[in-house]
Structure 1
Amino acid sequence: MKDETVNVEHRPLGRIGGALFCFSIFITSFYGAIFILGPCFALIYIWPWLYRRVVDRIVAFWLIFPIALLEKVFRVKFFVKGDGFNYMERTVIIMNHRTRVDWMLFWPCLFHCARLRKLKIVLKSDLKYIPGPGWAMQAAGFIFLDRKWERDRPHVEDLLHYFNDPNINEPLILLLFPEGTDLTENTKSRSDKFADKQGLPKYDYVLHPRTTGFTHLVKQLVEANAIDCIHDITVGYPAGLIRNENDLIEGKMPKEVHFSITRHPVDTLPTSNEEQMSSWLNEKWRAKEEKLKKFYTSDRQFLDTRQPYWDKRTISIWIALLFWPSFIVVCSYCLIVSQMLKWYGLGSIVFYIFALRANGGVEKLEMAVFQALHNKNLKKD
């Protein structure tokens, strides 16, 4: 594996700054899941479509907070080249997984170029068990996978069917990392062994993608007429690299993050044939390896000539930067002085635990209630 960041400094805030960043992200998601998302759960049993729209906007507003910290506090610079996004498009985003926090560093790109509220991320199922952030991601309807396709397939199908139901009709931007994990020495070794077994080339800047889940996901979206295109995104870190959460805690941040975007309209893809779609994905990863090789061995710039539209949205960023710290202070104070609020908070925590144990998470409870209401209406008719 090539070391892309040799002799390149991070933009550090020190361990205190890093610890405050991580604490802020955790506590705002924890309080938000309890005191903002919690009251919305009643809507699941009354107007599921309204619940989905309200929660998506709440989660999108929270996502602006880490974006604000990255841009205004850590002063990370983001650069985008290529095709960009259309606000109204339903798309699957495929991206190389260089670090464990690529998803967070991608949020600014989507915020400035598209709509955060439409975002659903395909994640490891372990993340749903994290108090606070995991609860919020469940409520957001993120797709959690066990990485065993036999078990994941029914859940993915049910969730996509739910989002595409005419009564919900929620257009999606699905973020998927086909490599399944981030690039490390260990994961590269496993990827190289797979390449040797399959007679494929070994890569230095990416891992060989897992094609089964991707091809089935795209096929199901096409059959539901719920996808307009695929955005192939390559991320590069020319100045600094966050390898994992420990780097965040230590206050390390990249000085720059670069994205190269290629848009593929769905009618130009071999979506009717899963084997051909698998080959298409493998070919894109071969091209991604070459693109990243040029990126890191030249002037650390992507060579795309187009510059997508970038909406600065500075007002939203400053509002989030002011609101969420204030929200922490108000919630902490109210918990200290109000016994009723303490009981409410405890009840909300019990609800999240119950939903996880009984249904597998809030997102599965949401689907189960919707299906029960749908069946009830059918019987009335």
Structure 2
Amino acid sequence: MTNGIVRAIKRNLISQLFIASTILTSGAIINVIQVLLHILVKPVNKRLFHRLMYYVSWTWLAQCVFIADFWSNTELIIYCKKEVFDVLGKEHHFTLMNHCYEIDWLIGWLVLEKFGCLGNARGFIKNVIKYIPICGWFFGFAEHIFLQRSFEKDKAVIEERLDDILQYPDNSWTVVTAEGTRFTKEKHEASQKFASERNMVPLKHHLIPRGKGFITCVPILKKYKNLSVLNLQLAFDKSAKVEPTLVNLLRGEKVVAHVYIERISIDNVEPTQDYLNKMYQEKDEIQDSFLKFGNFFEGLKQKPIDGIRMKPRLCVAVNTLLWFALNLSFMLYYATKMILAGRFVFLLSISGGVIALFYIMMQNIIRHSKVNKGSQYGKK
């Protein structure tokens, strides 16, 4: 009975809109705080600016993590050697992650949160995103690396921003999708044709990686000793009843994310296209093993590693519930104020408009997260 009520609440559109409205309204508040940090703190004390931006970033991204961790009870299982697990989050990480699922970005944040690096997570993002209100502004003020996808323009940006990130007082976790765009059937066919024409090894589950950005990054990474490159591979069971989509998570549907992590010493990383191609050939074999056998090791004839089930952190729930309480208090205060003033029609009009606005914004986020709505980049 209780489970049925909880399930009904999670599937209710009003509940989903309340979560979306809290994330968006808190995002607007956080945008203001970010601007103030840039104006008042960064010119005076850059180290303090980075430390404060860590907590500001965490409190917003943790609300998204809440959707996976607590709302949908998503399971995160990490597969890596013990010596790798013990250093995750304790050094700067430069991570190459596959990009083929609708919620791979959210699972990435889930991994980062578990190892205390969510507030210092940075990524390579297409430049147009930073102009999107709230979400795009957040990433812009948090100083993610925005690229115009013109190497002549982006090279200097990569060199300056990556060097700055690696000087953060706390360990950072920079995530890169070297394929340049999300995997789709159409882009995969173009990628295989590209590989065939150039006598390259075609990939089954990835696009041919684009190496100019990676080659630019490696010499900068090699300047720092407390740093490693991570090969992070995300997979979902293809026979699972629940598809890994944002809609399903908002409906409270549980998914199980399997994440393979390999640590590579920066001393062993080469700034070449051939090295990157070989790394993606390895990622392809890892993914192929999981899709065929349900694990990352059997297809590679490697000794299996037991998965580590990562537990949700209570601080994520507390943070989100506080934002929920603030949002609900704000709504109740103004609703009560208008009711006491006898402005019922005005209240209904405003409420309808606000609900419609948040619904449109929520649907827009869902639409842009879908695989078939990926960037056109890489199709040619």
TM-score class, shorter-chain normalisation, is 0.7 to 0.9
Q: Name the % identity.
A: 19
Q: Distance in 1 between matches of 2:206 and 2:253?
A: 21
> What is the Cα deviation at residue 236 of structure 1?
0.4
Bigger drift between 313-322 and 58-67 goes to: 313-322
Structure having greater relative contact order (Cα 8 Å, sep ≥ 6): 1
> What is the Cα deviation at residue 20 of structure 1?
4.9
Alignment of 1:10-159 (within 5 A): 14=11, 16=13, 19-34=17-32, 36-41=33-38, 42-82=40-80, 83-84=84-85, 85-159=87-161
The runs of 5 or more residues in structure 1 that have no matched partner are: 1-11, 338-381
What TM-score, normalized to structure 1?
Answer: 0.73
Change (3 A) 1:105 1:164: closer
Change (3 A) 1:330 1:136: farther
Alignment of 1:104-253 (within 5 A): 104-164=106-166, 171-222=171-222, 224-225=223-224, 228-238=227-237, 239=240, 240-242=242-244, 247=247, 251=251
Q: Distance in 2 between matches of 1:255 and 1:66?
A: 15
RMSD of aligned Cα (Å)? 2.9
> What is the Cα deviation at residue 81 of structure 1?
0.5
Q: Distance in 2 between matches of 1:32 and 1:56?
A: 12
SS in 2 for 1:289: helix
CA contact (8 A) 1:113 1:311 kept: no
Q: How many residues align?
A: 314
> What is the Cα deviation at residue 107 of structure 1?
1.2
CA contact (8 A) 1:18 1:248 kept: no
Change (3 A) 1:307 1:50: farther
> What is the Cα deviation at residue 28 of structure 1?
2.6
Confirm whether residue 301 of structure 1 aligns to residue 299 of structure 2.
Answer: no
Q: Distance in 2 between matches of 1:112 and 1:329?
A: 28
Change (3 A) 1:77 1:161: closer
Q: Distance in 2 between matches of 1:33 and 1:267?
A: 38
CA contact (8 A) 1:221 1:227 kept: no
1:43-73 Cα shifts (integer Å, max 9, x gaps): 1232222112101221012222111121211
SS in 2 for 1:147: coil
CA contact (8 A) 2:158 2:213 kept: no
Q: Distance in 1 between matches of 2:330 and 2:142?
A: 22
Q: Distance in 1 between matches of 2:187 and 2:251?
A: 25
**Residue identity matched to 2:182:** D
Change (3 A) 1:319 1:177: same
Q: Distance in 1 between matches of 2:276 and 2:330?
A: 46
Q: Distance in 1 between matches of 2:319 and 2:244?
A: 24
Correspondence for 1:356: none
Change (3 A) 1:50 1:76: same
What TM-score, normalized to structure 2?
Answer: 0.73
Correspondence for 1:280: 275
Confirm whether residue 328 of structure 1 aligns to residue 327 of structure 2.
Answer: yes
SS in 1 for 2:42: helix
CA contact (8 A) 1:113 1:309 kept: no
The runs of 5 or more residues in structure 2 that have no matched partner are: 1-8, 298-302, 338-380
Q: Distance in 2 between matches of 1:329 and 1:49?
A: 35
Q: Distance in 2 between matches of 1:37 and 1:229?
A: 29
Correspondence for 1:255: 255
Bigger drift between 248-257 and 145-154 goes to: 248-257
Confirm whether residue 265 of structure 1 aligns to residue 265 of structure 2.
Answer: yes
Change (3 A) 1:111 1:293: same
